[in-house]
Structure 1
Amino acid sequence: MTVIATLLLAFAAGLLGPVGTAWAGSVHDGASQPVYSYADAIRETVWVDTGLDGVRGGAGHDRVAADIIRPREPAAHGRRIPVIMDASPYYSCCGRGNDSQVKTYDANGNPLQFPLYYDNYFVPRGYAVVLVDLAGTNRSDGCVDVGGASDVTSAKAVVDWLNGRATGYSARTAGTPVRAGWADGSVGMIGKSWDGTVANGVAATGVAGLKTIVPISAISDWYDYYRSQGAPLYQGTPADLASYVEDPATTAKCAAEQADLAAGAPYDGDWNGFWQQRDYVADASKVKASVFVVHGMQDLNVRADEFGPWWDALAARGVPRKIWLSQTGHVDPFDYRRSAWVDTLHSWFDHYLMGVDNGIDRQPMADIERAPDQWSTDAKWPAPGTRQDLVALAPGTLGAGAGGTVGFTDDPTRDENAWAADVDRTTPDKTVFSSGVLQHDLRVSGSGSLTLTVASSTTSAHLSAVLVDVGPAVIRDYQGAGEGINTLTTQSCWGEGTPTDTGCFMDTSAATAQVGATVFSRGWIDLGHYASLDQQRPLTPGAPYRMTVQLAPTDHVVPAGHRLALIVAGTDANLIDPPDTRPTLTVDLSHSQLRLPLTAGADTVTPGQPPAPTMAPSTAPLTVLRPTQQRDALADLR
């Protein structure tokens, strides 16, 4: 035993006192303290009955594996403790975190390494950490259904077991019943990407005992992950994703589920019952847990439009909530703001799982990254004083035709970076509107929308809209290999460790890029869904169609001296798939409008400034942003 471990045990013994004295617990000075031994913690696996038969073979209910690590001392004193839970499909196939850690086991199948730092940091502070293999992955029965009943129920069943409402067993088959008598019933779910998505889904069931969730770069509506208002996003299919994470031995048994995944997600982008089952926003009214949302505003995998509707629905219900928005892509805050993140998460879990009155519920709601490693806070989000302002789209000299119309021809080889690079140059594949040079900072906080009346020359058409901050800046390199971070050669340790689970992780730094323009919000639609998302329809060439493009939520300040630009074009290469024709699109400006959530205030817009600029084309040449990297056809949700 190390000197540190010995001292910790001595400290713990002093707090616990001799047998028969009052049990002090781990909370002191307004925070849980690392007073328990990580090395001596109880490590075990329980298989929880989900009540489902995923392989549809009639052989009985599926059981999912819950690997548990919990401090030994509270159990010895008959004291119950809260749980931090991460339910994931990635514990064997792909790994978790920037270090891609997987679960490891000894020769008898007992857990050794618990991926990520949750166990190392929180177990000594009096929490149990439970890592659940989603149905069909690693050591769990069943089939992966990508956000449906199997995913959500396999995690919810563990919450129920921790609250005495489900049955757990000592083995995957047969075994003896196991109770969670050590758990106090308070559960907090956390996780990045698919893991955080499951946390959203479980919260939307309203399950009792789930006190908080921390979804990081998570999905709230699977339709919006694969489709954007009917337009197919460059993400592969749910069936592909299931095959990617499933236990190979299970895949052959899951043919029926695979068929359902293929049939339920047609390429035409129609909304149906398959997607309805995977829309957690629709059930936000059931959420009882507090929610701490974390997202990268430049995440082009799980895009920012995934947190926006979820946040708005939670706000309407008055759910206690907090939000961090970074400039990164698909990155965990542990890897871009490590110390502040761990401190904040510690306070969050202490408050909502242990009941510590540490004031985190009264702190500013929002932390926003303004530039690499530079953060600001707001009491609420969107920022106080934000209002939806109408921004006029005025015809100008660039691309404007007679009668207040503009037009462009879809070029599926071009993307938003190419458009931004040519923001002041006439090209046939786009139309640009610009505010002119701003005299004051202009803050966009929340979700905007662009309503267009458009005619297509062909029977099918996709449309893209992006907001651009035109001007020099240093940003996180969200399109680089690390999506805004560099992985260094050094390590730092968080919490306690053992030789098989050290609690040490690779350090990181901000990866930056010098740019001449920054795309900070985007949206896409399929014009064939002009009448309804339920059914794609062929367009009548030359006929006008009116649709509203929902722009992804953001919080961005366009500084004085820069310009705000709107680019409207066809296919955004590598982000959406092209239509089956190559249309020329004509926009009727007299029946089109842009709405932006603009914030008035001393730190954003000088009082007396007009609430919104008129945007018209402008003409100085500008070269910005390198071409985007090719993205894999199969999205990796890790």
Structure 2
Amino acid sequence: MRARSLWTALVPLIAVAAFSQGAAAAGTVPEIVVADGVTQPVFGYADAVRERLFVESTFDSDSDGLRDIIAFDVMRPRATEQGLKVPVVMDASPYYSTLCRGNDSECKADVDGDGLLDRWPLFYDNYFVPRGYAVILLDMVGTNNSTGCPTTNANQDNLSAKQAINWLNGRATARNAAGEVVTADWHNGRTGMIGKSYDGSLAMATAVTGVEGLTTIVPISGPTEYYDYVRSNGVVTRGNSYVSYLANVVTNPDRRDYCAPVRDALGAADGDETGDYTAFWNERSYVKKVPNQRASVLLYHGVNDDNVRADHFSKYWYALAENNVPRKLWLSQEGHVDPFDSRRAVWVRTLHRWFDFWLHGVPNGIMDEPRVDLERAADVWETHADWPVPGSTGTEVFLQPTGRVGLVPAAANATAGFQDSPTQSQATMIGNPDAVQPNRLAFLSAPLTAPLHISGTPELKLRASADKTDTNFGVILVDYGTAERVNHRASGEGIVTLSTEDCWGLGSATDDPCYRQTQKRVATSDVEVVTKGIMDAQNRQSIRVAVPLTPGELANYSFPLLPEDYVFAPGHRIGVIVVGSYPQYSSQADQTRANISLQLRSSRIVLPVVGGTAAAHAAGI
């Protein structure tokens, strides 16, 4: 019902007459032009209207007794002064004056000092303004021209863009630098948000408020559960006080001392000493708030992203499906890479059609196409009806005392043991899989006799004991077999940035639409870490409460690995590597060096195999 109502609201056909200055002068209201199913660049860029506006928020992040002011820069076609109504493409970000945006690290810049933006990061303004869109680049609270202090995905960050959308729809007041009230009488009522990483999280954070007027979002590699960004099942995976550290990074240097008390409060409340889930993290969760969401979603993520790991997209995607939110998904083989730098021409074409459909109401059929684009190998893409790929079924693969895996449980008395090592490297964990090593257990399949496709979220289930009151558990799913793969662990996270450029849209004397091109970085390797997972054994019952272990007592442990979509080739072997601490995954390795024993009959990995047990059996497991 939600999908039908959203689409119905966009179906009214739009007029597609060409606009000319002569027609405007004669009193005709200008209109967009649609040809070949997409809006055309019939409006100017150099003469576009540029504004810097300020809207009062509903919060006071720095506790100075005044509501924070959110600043944003607007660019819209000059034809909006003659009656053209346009939608908005908005990128809300904390980075416009610090780390800046895109592969070219572009910052906002007022070149001539007139208080208006002359250099606009990214290509959205160059490409979409000539096609009949307004573009807004919004400074998140406490950054660039906004007041207050950043709170790293707390409510103050999350509500920054909502107030601008309220202004666009007549529910809030914005002023220019002279204090004059400015209205958005040129707006058609629809806004789309887009952004990578932190910007992507702000798009999702705004969407789950249910704010009226936000029609669609395009989150790119953004955190959806901030707990999962710095934790994993009770284990701290990033350095202590990371939340306050990032708040400092995005704050303008001249305001960092001023915002120190806010950062100190973040550090005191983050619970680094336990790694448990608290109300601090509940505020920074978007997944559980998806039932509030009205906006459709075009979601992009790299499955090999070790910055914002893939469980961020999967948990959000599952929630979107449960709530019947209109959606599409792109999954690439790269790490933390923007699709503009991964599959540029196809991405721009797709984004253009997506915004045309959802924001201008152009009936271009994009929602009738396959829901999922998935990169199988470097620049080799395929489409699927959904994700996980239909037919994916949780398939139990049991750990055997022979160091093998199989579809039948081990004998009741079969056990295997190892000692946790807080310093063991990942290379040591996965190296020499046929050899017995004291700090890991390796379980291997025979060489596969047919391809084995997994699609979804694997899960490790162990029955184990430890001789200490605490330990960690880690697992790595490995493909042992030679192949050319996207080298996502090298510099560039799977891409090489070239010196050549291509251009996307129109420019001005101070802002060109040209960006450095890229190509995939590939390498031939004998082993690939497919996915991995980790947990604190004390959080076996809940990530909210830690319960010490009873030394020597068997207990059940279950935790997810990162989601994946991967095909193991014939002749390759599947490896399941079980460890305790996993230093390359977590910043807080357990120091107990516990001796761990597995009861193998109940210990298995549940793989989301396309075709289920029959496909696993056919592949020789």
Scaled to the shorter chain, the TM-score interval is over 0.9
Structure 2 SS opposite 1:429: coil
Q: Map 1:188-587; keep pairs closer than 5 Å.
A: 188-236=192-240, 237-267=242-272, 268-397=274-403, 403-576=413-586, 577-587=588-598
Q: 1:130 to 1:163 in 2, by over 3 A?
A: same
Quote the offset at 1:235 in angstroms: 4.7
Question: Does the 8 A contact of 1:187 with 1:209 survive in 2?
Answer: yes
Q: Determine the C-alpha separation between the residues in 2 that align with 1:519 and 1:404.
A: 27
Quote the offset at 1:433 in angstroms: 1.5
1:51 aligns with 2:53: no
Amino acid at match of 1:356: V
Structure 2 SS opposite 1:381: coil
Structure 1 SS opposite 2:159: helix
Amino acid at match of 1:249: D
Q: Determine the C-alpha separation between the residues in 2 that align with 1:371 and 1:398.
A: 28
Instruction: Give the gaps of 5 or more residues in structure 1.
Output: 1-10, 615-638
Q: Determine the C-alpha separation between the residues in 2 that align with 1:15 and 1:215.
A: 40
Q: 1:245 to 1:23 in 2, by over 3 A?
A: closer
1:148 aligns with 2:148: no
1:183 aligns with 2:187: yes
Q: Determine the C-alpha separation between the residues in 2 that align with 1:540 and 1:608.
A: 40
Structure 2 SS opposite 1:104: coil
Q: Map 1:16-35; keep pairs closer than 5 Å.
A: 19-21=26-28, 23-35=30-42
Question: Does the 8 A contact of 2:609 with 2:615 survive in 1?
Answer: no
Deviations 1:188-232 (A, max 9, x none): 111100000111111111111111111111111000111100011
Tell me which moved more, 588-597 or 372-381.
Answer: 588-597
Amino acid at match of 2:256: T
Amino acid at match of 1:410: D
Tell me which moved more, 108-117 or 412-421.
Answer: 412-421
Q: Determine the C-alpha separation between the residues in 2 that align with 1:232 and 1:611.
A: 40
Deviations 1:47-93 (A, max 9, x none): 111121111111x21111111111111x1321210000011111011
Q: Determine the C-alpha separation between the residues in 2 that align with 1:537 and 1:611.
A: 42
Q: Determine the C-alpha separation between the residues in 2 that align with 1:146 and 1:525.
A: 24
Q: Map 1:63-212; keep pairs closer than 5 Å.
A: 63-73=69-79, 75-105=80-110, 106-171=112-177, 175-212=179-216
Amino acid at match of 1:581: T
Deviations 1:295-315 (A, max 9, x none): 010101100011111100100
Q: Determine the C-alpha separation between the residues in 2 that align with 1:611 and 1:263.
A: 54
Amino acid at match of 1:241: L
Q: Determine the C-alpha separation between the residues in 1 that align with 2:224 and 2:123.
A: 25
Q: Determine the C-alpha separation between the residues in 2 that align with 1:342 and 1:235.
A: 36
Instruction: Give the gaps of 5 or more residues in structure 2.
Output: 1-17
Quote the offset at 1:595 in angstroms: 1.3
Question: Could you tell me the TM-score, scaled by structure 2's length?
Answer: 0.92
Q: Determine the C-alpha separation between the residues in 2 that align with 1:311 and 1:150.
A: 25
Deviations 1:555-591 (A, max 9, x none): 1111111122211112222321201322222111122
Question: Does the 8 A contact of 2:29 with 2:84 survive in 1?
Answer: no
Question: Does the 8 A contact of 1:395 with 1:405 survive in 2?
Answer: yes
Given the alignment, which residue of 603, 606, 609 partners 1:595? 606
Q: Determine the C-alpha separation between the residues in 1 that align with 2:551 and 2:443.
A: 25
Deviations 1:512-531 (A, max 9, x none): 12111111111110011123
Q: Determine the C-alpha separation between the residues in 1 that align with 2:268 and 2:481.
A: 46
Q: Determine the C-alpha separation between the residues in 2 that align with 1:513 and 1:538.
A: 44
Structure 1 SS opposite 2:340: helix
Quote the offset at 1:498 in angstroms: 1.6
Structure 2 SS opposite 1:113: coil
Deviations 1:339-386 (A, max 9, x none): 011001111111111111111101111111111111111011111111
Match of 2:4 in 1: none
Amino acid at match of 1:126: G
Question: Does the 8 A contact of 1:164 with 1:179 survive in 2?
Answer: yes
Amino acid at match of 2:192: G
Q: Determine the C-alpha separation between the residues in 1 that align with 2:618 and 2:294.
A: 38
Amino acid at match of 1:263: A
Question: Does the 8 A contact of 2:45 with 2:506 survive in 1?
Answer: yes
Structure 1 SS opposite 2:256: helix
Q: 1:317 to 1:608 in 2, by over 3 A?
A: closer
Q: Determine the C-alpha separation between the residues in 2 that align with 1:111 and 1:16.
A: 30
Q: Determine the C-alpha separation between the residues in 2 that align with 1:169 and 1:584.
A: 65
Structure 1 SS opposite 2:267: helix
Amino acid at match of 1:495: G
| Number of residue-to-residue matches in the alignment | 596
Question: Does the 8 A contact of 1:161 with 1:167 survive in 2?
Answer: yes
Q: 1:235 to 1:35 in 2, by over 3 A?
A: farther
Quote the offset at 1:402 in angstroms: 9.7
Deviations 1:102-149 (A, max 9, x none): 000131221011101111111111111101110011111011111111
Deviations 1:220-276 (A, max 9, x none): 100011110001103551011101111233333334422331122112111111101
Amino acid at match of 1:584: N
Structure 1 SS opposite 2:118: strand
Question: Does the 8 A contact of 2:540 with 2:558 survive in 1?
Answer: no
Q: Determine the C-alpha separation between the residues in 2 that align with 1:397 and 1:61.
A: 62
Quote the offset at 1:546 in angstroms: 1.6
Amino acid at match of 2:95: Y
Q: Determine the C-alpha separation between the residues in 2 that align with 1:608 and 1:145.
A: 48
Amino acid at match of 1:94: L
Q: Determine the C-alpha separation between the residues in 2 that align with 1:214 and 1:283.
A: 17
Question: Does the 8 A contact of 2:81 with 2:186 survive in 1?
Answer: no
Match of 1:617 in 2: none
Q: 1:441 to 1:16 in 2, by over 3 A?
A: farther
Question: Does the 8 A contact of 1:221 with 1:280 survive in 2?
Answer: yes
Question: Does the 8 A contact of 1:391 with 1:612 survive in 2?
Answer: no
The percent identity for this pair of structures is 43
Deviations 1:379-427 (A, max 9, x none): 1111111111222222215799993222222223333343223322222
Question: Does the 8 A contact of 1:527 with 1:545 survive in 2?
Answer: no
Quote the offset at 1:15 in angstroms: 9.5
Match of 2:10 in 1: none
Q: 1:130 to 1:243 in 2, by over 3 A?
A: same
Structure 2 SS opposite 1:84: strand
Q: 1:21 to 1:235 in 2, by over 3 A?
A: same
Deviations 1:419-464 (A, max 9, x none): 2233222222211122211111111011111111221222221111
Q: Determine the C-alpha separation between the residues in 2 that align with 1:332 and 1:207.
A: 26
Tell me which moved more, 409-418 or 524-533.
Answer: 409-418
Question: Does the 8 A contact of 1:461 with 1:528 survive in 2?
Answer: yes
Q: Determine the C-alpha separation between the residues in 2 that align with 1:515 and 1:157.
A: 50
Question: Does the 8 A contact of 1:461 with 1:581 survive in 2?
Answer: yes
